[in-house]
Structure formats: C-alpha cells, structure tokens
A and B are shown apart, each in its own frame.
Chain A
Amino acid sequence: MSKMTLKTEGDRYVVVTRRFAAPPEAVYRAHTEPKLIQKWMLGPEGWTMPVCINDARPGGKIRFEWSDGKGRGFYLTGECLELEPYSRIVHVERMHLPDPTPDNHVETRFEADGTGTLMTMRMTLPDAETRSQMLATGMEHGMEAGYVRLEGILEPELAGSQRHSQ
C-alpha cells in the first residue's frame, strides 16, 4: 500500500504518489513543520539537515541545508505560494550547487484515503531540458532534495529493473 510511484508527464512534469497510514493532517504537518521535516527529508543514509527553515504562509521563505557530516553539503531555497491546511501546498524551490538550478514549481496534495492519505506531488519544470538537467544535478549529489528526480524519461524496462547484469 505504501509503494511510491514516480512518473513523468508530458515534457515538463514529474508526478510522485505515495500512500501513508496517517490522516492528511499529520502528513501535511510533516511537510510543513521544520522539526518534523528534519526527521525524514534527508536522502541517503548518513545525511542530516542541520538548517531547516519553512515559513509556512504565502510568501514565506524556505531554506533547507544538508550535510553528509564529512564536509560535503548543499542547500535549497524557495518560497511558499499557497497553503490549504491540510490538503494542499504550492511552493517553488531551487537547489544551489552552488549555482541555482531553474525553479521547480511544486504542488503537493493530501487526500484522505480510507484511514490514511494519498499524497500526489506534481512538479513543473520550465522545459524538458531543465527536467533532464535536474536528473543530472541530482546524480551529482546522489540526493533528492525536493523529490525532483526523474524516471519516466527512460525506457520502462530500465526504470523498472532493480538488478541488471554487471
């Protein structure tokens, strides 16, 4: 039930879905309250988020800083655009590597699904090239910062394969 899906749509969209065994209010709070965000939005094992600013109101600033504990790190900035507790968040974000990547416009919806929540996150990139470059910058850090990265641009058999011949 908790299986994540990640698909591209058209040239500029990436859509991620995931089910959670908690009501929309809890999932929404885990996406907006810094103390909660810092517990899970970390990427690979061993990384932490020492700085987490998420001013959850229209125009509010977002700043996430990640560290691998060995001197490597990067950060993301953004702005909150719309908030509808506990059903919808719209924000814009960019990674700094250290040059800023083009803006990623993200809409996240939380819908009641039985006793749990279906989350649907739709990312809109400026164009297809940016979307593929985001894949490339994500690679560099082996890290997903705003759930950015893609899968659907590859053939399904590649995207779906967990193991392949060495």
Chain B
Amino acid sequence: MPDLDAAFSALADPTRRAILARLALGEATVMELVQPFEMTQPAISRHLRVLEGAGMIVRRAEGTKRPCRLSKAGLETIDQWLGMLREALARNYDRLDAVLAEMNAEQMNPDKGETR
C-alpha cells in the first residue's frame, strides 16, 4: 500500500496523470514518453521518480533503458478513476431517460407542457 500523501501529491499533477493514462496502454521507456508530452527528458524523468516514489509505477532494467509500467496501485487508481467517469456517463444517460419520459408525458398531455 503506497503512502497516501505521496500518492495524492503524485496525482495532483496533470502531466503525471497523463503519464499514468499512457502507461495504461502498456509499458513505455522514458524516450517513448518524452515525445507525446513535448517535455524534456529530465522533466519526464522527474515525474517518473515521483510516480515511482508514490508506488504508482515500477521500472525494470533492460540494458541502459528502464521501461516503466503501472504497478498494482497504479492500475487500481486508474480503475477507480475510470469507474467514476463511467458512472458519470451512465448517470447522464439515466437522467436522459427521465427527460425523455417527461417529453413523452408532455406530448400525451400538451396542457401540462412548459408552454402553459
């Protein structure tokens, strides 16, 4: 279980959240992360150290490269965000169901419509 303070401050930065989202696609090296984020390698490396310190990612040695991937805690974090987003979207459509039912009722009883 990662330190919660470290986890929160790691996730407070949009670039680090974007890095986590990128790693959800699969393992990546620093160089592979530098290009899409339009940041320098040292800047990306600093973000990776914060994420690693917070237990969100793990790195392995492969020659001179140290590819990163999500740790179990990182995966669970993304899973939770995703659950929130999915819930927000599902809630929108549940509300739309209610709006459609209202529209239908107004059509059946035009006297009770908003125009009255």
Contact = CB atoms under 8 A, between A and B. Distances in A.
Interface of A: 2, 4, 6, 16, 18, 20-22, 26-27, 29-30, 36, 39-45, 128-129, 132-133, 135-140, 142-144, 147, 149-151, 153-154, 158-159, 161-162, 164
Q: Is the interface of B mostly helix, strand, loop or mixed?
A: helix
B32 to A, nearest CB: 10
Contact of A147 (B79, B81, B89): B89
B39 interface: no
B18 A144 contact: no
B56 to A, nearest CB: 13
Given A29-B103, A30-B100, A40-B95, A139 B22 contact: no
Contacts, number: 123
B11 to A, nearest CB: 8
B104 A151 contact: no
Given A132-B22, A144-B85, A162-B83, A41 B92 contact: yes
Contact of B79 (A4, A26, A142, A161): A161
Give the interface size class of chain B: 35 or more
Interface of B: 14, 17-18, 20-22, 24-25, 36, 75-76, 78-79, 81-101, 103-104
Given A20-B100, A21-B100, A43-B92, A6 B86 contact: yes
Contacts of B75: 154, 158
Contacts of B76: 164
